[in-house]
Amino acid sequence: MGASQSQVSEPTVANNNVKPQNLVNHAQPMEKPAHPELVNTQAKAMEKTEAIIQLPQNYKAILKDADSPVESSSMDKLLSQLHAGVYLNQKRKKYWVDKKSNKNCFMLFARDLSITWAEDHRYWHWTNQKEINSDVFIDVAELLQVCWLEIHVKFDVAKLSPGTLYRVVFVFMLRDEAFGWEFPVNFRLTLPNRFKVEHKEILMTKPKGVWIEIPVGEFTTSSESVGEIDIYCHEYDIGNWKSGLIVKGVSILPKH
């Protein structure tokens, strides 16, 4: 997708006790520290700190898709960014670590979803929305009118924290003038083992003008559950025209 790649390295601690030697006007190869045992002690302390904090084991692989460099010169700076969230793949996704549970979380924005007729301006309109507590704008898809609603996305469970109960939700907004939502919308979550969780929601009864979460299903990650989950939403059985739905994306979050 042309997203920039950000290589994340282990946080390191600067050795401020080593004095520069033989300063000249030209660049010289870096000399070995005067006290290598001190450097080794600091490195071991950093490894111990990371072990105590228990950063997600796959966070480095995930951050390779970060849109901007991730500050990893210290554990505090790295944790601050992981808790605040990092945008991936040209703001198609957002990744963060839940501060309470220390589990991986993801938001798959509308640009990462497959929305039928989303590029046909007769039916859908793309606009941007400012993220809460952020200066970042992300694309959202607004439904103008359609009788065939179909949205789905797949996601690799290897990026999630193991042994964790996750909940999957669509994040929508209904405009005040929305219509056509009197009939149930179908939601389905298909797990890697092909097990399906399905239910229906009538959106017309939901609050208008605010972001709402529509549950799709729950599942627990495990070593046996390898592959992708398929997240699906549709309403085309009735064939009625619908309007006024804004799609922000899909959240995959640990259930507390």
Domains of the chain: 1-11+30-97 (no CATH), 109-254 (2.60.120)
Q: Residue 180's CB: how many other CB atoms inside 10 A?
A: 20
pLDDT at 29: 40
Residues 135, 221: contact at Cβ < 8 Å?
A: no
Q: What is the pLDDT of residue 62?
A: 97
* Token output for 110: 């509308």
Q: Give SS3 for 228.
A: strand
Whether this prediction's pTM lies above 0.85 is answered by no
Looking at the DSSP bridge assignments, the partners of residue 89 are none
- Residue of 184, 188, 177, 107 whose CA lies nearest to 143: 177
pLDDT number for residue 13:
38
- What is the rounded distance in angstroms from the CA atom of residue 232 to the CA atom of residue 239? 18
Q: Which two tokens stand for residue 59?
A: 């966070």
In angstroms, rounded to a whole number, what is the distance separating the alpha carbons of residues 245 and 243?
6
Q: Which residue numbers in the chain have pLDDT < 50?
A: 1-33, 42
Please provide the size of the chain in residues: 256
pLDDT confidence of residue 133:
82
Contact 216, 131 (CB under 8 A): no
The amino acid occupying position 86 is V
